[in-house]
Structure 1
Amino acid sequence: MATDKHFKYVILGGGVAAGYAAREFAKQGVKPGELAIISKEAVAPYERPALSKGYLFPQNAARLPGFYVCVGSGGEKLLPEWYSEKGIELVLSTEIVKADLATKTLTSAAGATFTYEILLIATGSSVIKLTDFGTQGADSNNILYLREIDDADKLVSAIQAKKGGKAVVVGGGYIGLELSAALKINDYDVTMVFPEPWCMPRLFTADIAAFYEAYYTNKGVKIVKGTVAVGFDADANGDVCTTFESSFSCKFLNVDANVYLPYFISCSQVTAVKLKDGRVLEADIVVVGVGGRPLTTLFKGQVTEEKGGIKTDAFFETSVPGVYAIGDVATFPLKMYSELRRVEHVDHARKSAEQSVKAIKGKESGESVPEYDYLPYFYSRSFDLAWQFYGDNVGETVLFGDSDPTSGKPKFGSYWIKDGKVLGAFLEGGSADENKAIAKVAKVQPPVANVEELKEEGLQFASKI
């Protein structure tokens, strides 16, 4: 039976931001019973980047409890018992279907209600699915996505079931690049398909992308650019392969007891990807990574929105007092660039969570908290590669270092220059100190007198800042 519960603080969502917010609440001295995390996932908050990296490795694969938060930032691993010890309630496997901010009430799919005094919206993003666009055959089996641990488990099962098979990765961004590498490491014949002229176009320049495309090609990954998947072939039998029993109340039939009825799942397996340019690619597995959407639907019409997210101030408080939005869903003032932005990245999820809790507790104690001053940061790891980027990728660029994809240990980077200042810096293959140096460049935004000299100096320029 559904029950009503009240908490002083509720974090809605169970991803990275939720875990880091809980840790900050504990640091700030939350009392037992005051805080709850409500998540539709069945597990405590974990480091989501592990799913596209270590989780899919054929050997020594990452598994829980190894990547619970907050290990991603070098902190203590928050096991489920940690929440119990701190008196923080984990309300798992619970989907909230209605949020009434006026009455401070959340209602679950099962009819349970949760009331709160302070709400942190940490709902993150959902993956964009090809079925959303009515793509022909997109509901076939083995067309997979990756966002949550359940998705990762399905992908692992598919990889193991079709060993040595053919995989098509739809999308050339973060997920596309990381999953293409993971599938290749699993001895798959991999083809990556994307519509843009080069991979990772939101961040990479053509020069940077050329290195990664050549490196991947040398690893055996086939790359098809400038076209999209318009349909999928599946095996023709379409047989029903599985039956389940479903229990549900039949009050509409005036039957008090539960009845059990079979239902069926079609077993049509994807066999090929049809491309807009007319090509057809054989496939045992298709993995789609074409972006995500911030999960803000529950709050439509109740909070101010901007740039696809929930608008917040520099403390992540929304237009509704006592309601905060953190991580992917927040459109916040990015102080160093004097503009509102929404950032989808784990680093911002962690830091915005900590900032919001400091602001909440500071407001309660009457202590002021500095405004959020975030330096944009992105990173990725695949094969033997590892890059980091800091700042803003606007203006003209210079490429420096060894960007030969056949090098034993390639190390190269790029600076972005606008209005005579370096605003962004990228480095592949850097050491910890070198990565700190390019971060400092992006933060300080040093002037550049001569772009050609900057290209010659390369990393030396960063080391002088």
Structure 2
Amino acid sequence: MAEKHFKYVIIGGGVSAGYAAREFAKQGVKPGELALISKEAVAPYERPALSKAYLFPEAPARLPGFHVCVGSGGERLLPEWYTEKGIELILNTEIVKADLASNTLTSAAGATFKFDILIIATGSTVFRLTDFGIPGADAKNIFYLREIDDADKLNEAIKAKKAGKAVIVGGGYIGLELAAVMKINNYDVTMVYPEPWCMPRLFTPEIAAFYEGYYAKKGVKIIKGTVAAGFDSNSNGEAIKLKDGRVLDADIVVVGVGAKPLTTLFKGQVEEDKGGIKTDAFFRTSVSNVYAVGDVVTFPLKMYEEIRRVEHVDHARKSAEQAVKAVKASEEGKTIDEYDYLPFFYSRSFDLSWQFYGDNVGEAVLFGDSNPETPKAKFGSYWIKDGKVVGVFLESGSAEENKAIAKVAKLQPPVTSVDQLTKEGIGFACKI
């Protein structure tokens, strides 16, 4: 097979890859200089759609509707866009070997690609129950959600069994979003997770109590403090044995128990830290012509003077843009500002929508009405550390209020009394 040589190669087909391609185009990449290699069959798209609108029974989202960069209000990059810009979009191509010393990538089919500069945008892959050696976890009606193929398989299963039973394994982001979407599809839904409350990485027990109460009101059953210990397939679907001895029946099991960065190709060739590929504030790795972006990266979080790995679409987009700007700047002998990222997370499910900015450390102060029985409940939380507000969470905020909480998390204003925050609530953020 012929070897192809490109000045720049992006490996990966997710959000970061698409945003990096757009930034290269903005920076004036010449036709034939850039290739984007993805194992998926479609051009890069906005992954968050998969656990939300893609699975809606009415007016579901479909490609080409959510190709990047529509998730951030940008232009939609259809396959034709890559052609017009002279960017080679190499799909259905899995890279199985990366030799950074010789600047070479090799595909499963044996094709080789040479690069001058590589951008690693491989993202992460889901943890599977088979990774934990759970008996029967390879059954056909156990689903995961990471790529569009996964969403298509799940969608077919939902349509095949109207008003069936679903068990969601996991109480994080994906678990909560999928429990909502399965309920919207008129399924009988049970969530199972080992933690004492949902989304423990971000939610305090008080915040979680609202969502658990809200989901219960919607008819979602929640079983906490236990895990799936085994599966028995039968003609009716799955019998799920829980560690606490209970057995649940399900037509569909959807698993969302976290993800791990896809670093395997580069093991031993680049420096790693905290499970990700270590980079500087320009996303350059320990190999000078190799950059890495998105979920796969452990990078300096300037605001908090520490290094972190962040799994979120917002960072996937922004890190990609920063890396490409850095590549172009170094070619021209210029400098750009260091990446100064404000952590941001959001989720939408049912008619709820929350945003969080900053760091959830220190003392959490709840404000507003967090009673799940209240129609249109609106509440939030501030986190205070060393006398300053370092993080803010808000459910059902307006666009202005969400901007205000971002500003507060960035500026970290001092706070004299906790009572002031409880009393003023969102008003405190709005006057900063």
Structure-2-length-normalised TM-score? 0.99
Is contact 1:141-1:270 (8 Å) kept? Answer: no
Distance 1:3 1:274 in 2: 52
| Equivalent residue, structure 2, for 1:54 | 53
2:63 corresponds to 1:70 = no
Q: Does 1:447 align with 2:414?
A: yes
Instruction: Confirm or deny that 1:350 pairs with 2:317.
Output: yes
Structure label with greater radius of gyration: 1
Partner of 1:148: 147
Whichever residue aligns with residue 188 of structure 1, its letter is Y
What's the Cα RMSD here?
0.7
What is the CA–CA distance in structure 1 between the aligned matches of 2:303 and 2:148, rounded to whole Å?
35
- For structure 2, the 5+ residue unaligned runs are none
Q: Quick one: which amino acid aligns to residue 67 of structure 2?
A: Y
- 1:361-411 residue CA offsets vs partner (Å, 9 max, x unmatched): 011112210000000000000000000000000000111011111222111
Aligned to 2:358: 391
| 1:420 equivalenced with 2:387 (yes/no) | yes
Q: Deviations over 1:242-289 (max 9, x none)?
A: xxxxxxxxxxxxxxxxxxxxxxxxxxx742111000000010000000
Task: Report what 1:104 is aligned to.
Answer: 103
Partner of 1:261: none
- Alignment-derived partner of residue 138 in structure 1: 137
Distance 1:270 1:87 in 2: 48
Equivalent in the alignment of 1:246: none
Percentage identity across paired residues of the two chains: 78
Matching of residues 303-322 of structure 1 within 5 Å: 303-322=270-289
* Range 174-183 or range 270-279, more displaced: 270-279
Unaligned ranges ≥5, structure 1: 237-268
Query: Is the 1:140–1:270 contact (alpha carbons within 8 Å) kept by the matching residues of 2?
Result: no
- Amino acid in the other structure paired with 2:55: L
- Deviations for 1:165-192, whole angstroms, at most 9, x for unmatched residues? 1000000000000000000000000000
Q: Secondary structure at 2:96's aligned position in 1?
A: strand
Q: Is the 8 A contact 1:378 1:390 kept in 2?
A: yes
Matched letter for residue 46 of structure 1: Y
Tell me, yes or no, if structure 1 residue 212 matches structure 2 residue 179.
Answer: no
Is the 1:425–1:438 Cα contact (8 Å) retained in structure 2? yes
1:21-68 CA-to-partner distances (Å, cap 9, x unmatched) read 000000000000000000000000000000001000000100000000
Alignment of 1:13-412 (within 5 A): 13-235=12-234, 270-412=237-379
Give distance in 2, aligned partners of 1:408 and 1:452.
26
Corresponding residue SS for 2:32: coil
**Alignment partner of 1:370: what SS?**
coil
Shift in Å, 1:3: 2.7
**Are the equivalent residues in 2 in contact too, given 1:326–1:353 (CA < 8 A)?**
yes
In 2: Cα distance, 1:48 partner to 1:150 partner: 12
Within 2, Cα distance between the matches of 1:425 and 1:333? 21
Equivalents in 2 of 1:229, 1:379: separation in Å? 28
Distance 1:435 1:21 in 2: 27
1:366 aligns to what SS in structure 2? coil
The answer to whether 1:457 aligns with 2:424 is yes
In the alignment of these two chains, the number of paired residues is 432
